[in-house]
Chain A
Amino acid sequence: MKQPSPRGDISALVLAVISGTAESQQEPLARLDRLVESAVAATADILHDDDLQLALFCQYELHYSGIDEAGDDWEWNPDLLRVRHRIEAALEARVRDEVVLGSLPEATSEAVCQELFRMTGEDSGPSMSRFVAKSATEEQLREFLVHKSIYQLKEADPHTWVIPRLAGRSKAAMVEIQADEYGNGLPARMHSALFARTMRSLGMDDTYGAYLDAAPAITLAVNNLMSLFGLNRRLRGAVVGHLAAYEMTSSQPNRLYSRGFKRHGYGEDATEYFDEHVEADAVHEQIAGRDMAGGLVESDPRLLQDVLFGAAAGLAVDTLMTVHIMEAWESGRSSLRPSESMAS
């Protein structure tokens, strides 16, 4: 991924550090650690903190596509990992604060599946999908794709980290879902590739990270949450619950998204991504709820709470992003950060 523009002292220092070499960076790393320590204590809300979210996003990115001009060694640099841990601990604490779990169901596959369907069926605030279907302008469709592109161009990757940490029924179910996400052997059918096609058909740049500078903190937080869950074995229950919640809140919204693009005269090139998800996720949600999440809890009942937490956390942070976007649109503003990359 190309280097994003910094959003404050911390993200600037992270980018500066990883563009140099570990030997010569001891002093900046120590300074970074001190800066982060006070920033996580002082931030009004880490979920909306551009500097901290971008700093965390860049550190996670070292595990995915890497960052241009950053040496590969930085991925496991202990000093940088200590900094990352400070930010992710604050993020996790903030999200645990945001999430309220109902009473726990029995630790059986069917009860877990039912509870996940109940949670994902609850009304969670403004509906972006209905708005996109009926009223979004062409410019708002583009903004919508910018927000989504941060995840969808690497769709499925954050959850895939958990596969070696699962076994038996839940592992088989997760792999069955992810195989579909990755196109069942056909690169052009990968969901990330279908999404790239949608972007191209609207004349947008489909390079991973091309619009990162335009994505507000809350959009980065949606992504950082998935990486936090996916990269920590301790949170394997949460990442499984998170994926289940995503699968369970997909079919109907995607049908509406597709309608929004059709309304503006876009054809299959643009809508295939959404249409595919209507059918695929009607399958995935059943496998995810019963076999992947339910199967995991049956094999290790201690993970019950984590699975539900992961689902609730994903829903809560996604709702905050939707609120951010809809509030901007309702008051006639752009939901993006001002950025040259959207100026064209």
Chain B
Amino acid sequence: MGVGTLVAASLGIDGLVSDESPSDGADPAPMRSLNSGEGAPASVVACPNGPLLIRGDFELVGPDGEELPRTRRTVALCRCGASVLKPYCDGSHKLIGFRSEP
């Protein structure tokens, strides 16, 4: 299976960042069928002063391995700690002035 599994509880600040250059239109992405169970590999964008944006094929599970409720393919995971929708970002990082950069 080419499906990444992300355990939300393990995503601390600067948690899991892929080394692939994200969404850079120039890179040809490998073509795979969504039905084969091998979708596009997950990519994680560490948004400066904001959430972790995760695209591609992945599962989002809690510490018990159960899938977390999820209604969209691409998600933003809170890494500032202030969201009331955790593990998802709700934009609160802007209100608390969260800085991920030095």
Which A residues fall within an 8 A CB radius of B? Answer: 110, 114, 117, 121, 168-169, 172-173, 176, 180, 184, 250-252, 255, 278-283, 285-287, 290-291, 295
Contacts and interface: CB of A to CB of B under 8 A. Distances in A.
Interface of B: 23-25, 45, 47-51, 53, 71-76, 83, 85, 88-92, 94-95
Contacts of B24: 169
B90 A279 contact: yes
Contact of B75 (A251, A252, A283): A283
Given A110-B48, A169-B24, A172-B25, A255 B90 contact: yes
Given A114-B48, A283-B76, A287-B53, A168 B25 contact: yes
Contacts of A176: 74
Nearest to B91: A251
Given A172-B25, A184-B72, A251-B90, 8 more contacts: A172-B23, A180-B72, A250-B91, A282-B83, A282-B91, A283-B74, A283-B89, A286-B76
B102 to A, nearest CB: 15
B68 to A, nearest CB: 12
Contacts of A114: 48
Given A121-B94, A251-B91, A255-B90, A282 B76 contact: yes
A114 B50 CA distance: 11
A61 B94 CA distance: 37
A283 B50 contact: no
Given A172-B25, A278-B85, A279-B85, A286 B50 contact: yes
Nearest to A173: B23
B17 to A, nearest CB: 15
Contacts of A278: 85, 90-91
A336 to B, nearest CB: 30
A interface: dominant SS: helix
A24 B94 CA distance: 58
- List the 4 shortest-distance A-B pairs measured between CB atoms, nearest first: A251-B91, A169-B25, A168-B25, A282-B89
A291 B43 CA distance: 14
Given A173-B23, A252-B95, A278-B85, A286 B90 contact: no
A290 B46 CA distance: 12
Query: B51, B72, B83, B88: which has the most chain A beta carbons within 10 Å?
Result: B72
A129 to B, nearest CB: 12
20 contacts: A110-B48, A114-B48, A117-B49, A117-B94, A168-B25, A169-B24, A173-B23, A176-B74, A252-B91, A252-B92, A252-B95, A278-B85, A278-B91, A279-B90, A283-B75, A283-B89, A285-B91, A286-B50, A286-B51, A286-B53
A283 B70 CA distance: 13
Contacts of A117: 49, 94
Nearest to B23: A291
B52 to A, nearest CB: 10
A176 B51 CA distance: 18
B23 A169 contact: yes
Contacts of B88: 279, 282
Contacts of B49: 117
Contacts of A252: 90-92, 94-95
Nearest to A278: B90
Query: A173, A180, A291: which has the most chain B beta carbons within 10 Å?
Result: A291
Contacts of B83: 282
